[in-house]
Amino acid sequence: ETTFIRAVSFVDAPGHEALMATMLSGAAIMDGAILVIAADEPCPQPQTREHLAAAEIIGIKNIIIAQNKIDIVSEERARRSYEEIKNFVKGTVAENAPIIPVSAQHSVNIDALIQAMEELIPTPKRDETKPPLMYVVRSFDVNKPGTPIEQLEGGVLGGTILQGKFAVGDEIELRPGISVEEEGKTVYKPLNTQIVSLHTGGKRVKEAHCGGLVGVGTLLDPSLSKADGLTGNIVGKVGQLPPVLSELNLETYILERAVGTKELAKVENITKDETLLLHVGAAITVGKVVSVKNEMTTLKLTRPVCALTGSRVAISRKIAGRWRLIGYGMIR
């Protein structure tokens, strides 16, 4: 007889390099990670290296390694793969992570993987007395084409509550909001709306708490939320959100080598006037460097972000035509 212990939500972080931005914005809401490494390929692949570096940069410390596809390799290759993984994680945040051989196809050792999750990725203590905050990592229009106007449902926001709790009927604000043209300039205006429904774990609920993925039904125009149009916003009670920043002062920490490149290219220092890609929570923006003094870098953003002082920011630079992770910064 099984006993319910807890519900866990998974954010699938794709390995394809073109989807690295998806992984980084998803990583902002994770409490732990399972690094899946195929036993039939040499380790590390460039994407594996990049994912581990991203987990380290975003501050994910609870990591489990699943050595997958053990059903299609010889015992000798499985052992060699294990040694490759061990060598790869040496000196990283995953140095002491358990390596669990599994076959996802045949459900081999999945019980051991679940046990490791229970023991090594605890549910963090969250403060529900603080003003509620939620990262929007997805947003949708749930209406089918041709729905009569009077039957249209408002936009739906998907994400994770970081602190506090939300209830149906709450008046909420989204920051930085949406871009509008004013006197020839693009400015961002916050959005105010009301929560009309909450879904979590496939169930409709009256209150949503920290942890797990939550679907928030609102009265927003669904044309704003369709196709992830509101991703990167932060949701909170009206007037209780962090400030919206169009300039960031970052204390930067640069990696020795860029991750994701075939050859491990040395990372040059950040320079004035260069353009960098920044992941701030679930938001993605581009920043132009306006000044660099020692470890402090100031960037002017093309799209403002709503963020707390002390938040981590992942920094990527264009190397050989692709954005590559080169380090992180703390908002000061």
Q: What is the mean pLDDT of residues 304-321?
A: 90
From 67-76, 160-169, 217-226, 259-268, the region with the lowest mean pLDDT: 259-268
Q: What is the mean pLDDT of residues 294-309?
A: 94
Question: Which pLDDT score is estimated for 260?
Answer: 66
Question: Which pLDDT score is estimated for 233?
Answer: 96
Question: Which pLDDT score is estimated for 16?
Answer: 61
Closest CA to 237 of 285, 197, 190, 304: 190
Q: Are 177 and 139 in contact (CB under 8 A)?
A: no
Please identify which residue in the block is written with the tokens 């010889």: 74
Alpha helices in 165-304 (DSSP H): 222-225
pLDDT in tens, 263-288: 777 889 999 999 999 999 889 999 99
95: pLDDT strictly greater than 80: yes
Q: What is the mean pLDDT of residues 16-34?
A: 70
Strands 322-331, 244-259: pairing kind: antiparallel
The CA distance from 290 to 276, in Å, is 11
53: pLDDT strictly greater than 60: yes
Residue 168 phi, psi (nearest 5): -60, 135
Strands 166-167, 156-163: pairing kind: unpaired
Average pLDDT score over the chain: 91
The secondary element (H helix, E strand) that includes residue 33 is strand 33-38
Confidence of residue 197 (pLDDT cuts 50, 70, 90): very high
Q: What is the mean pLDDT of residues 210-237?
A: 94
Question: Which pLDDT score is estimated for 258?
Answer: 76
143: pLDDT strictly greater than 90: yes
231: pLDDT strictly greater than 70: yes
202: pLDDT strictly greater than 80: yes
- For each of the domains in the chain, give its residue range(s) and CATH number, in order of start: 17-30+32-120 (3.40.50.300), 133-237 (2.40.30.10), 244-331 (2.40.30.10)
Classify 261 as helix, strand or coil: coil
pLDDT in tens, 120-130: 999 888 888 89
Question: Which pLDDT score is estimated for 17?
Answer: 59
pTM metric for this prediction: 0.80
297: pLDDT strictly greater than 90: yes
15: pLDDT strictly greater than 70: no
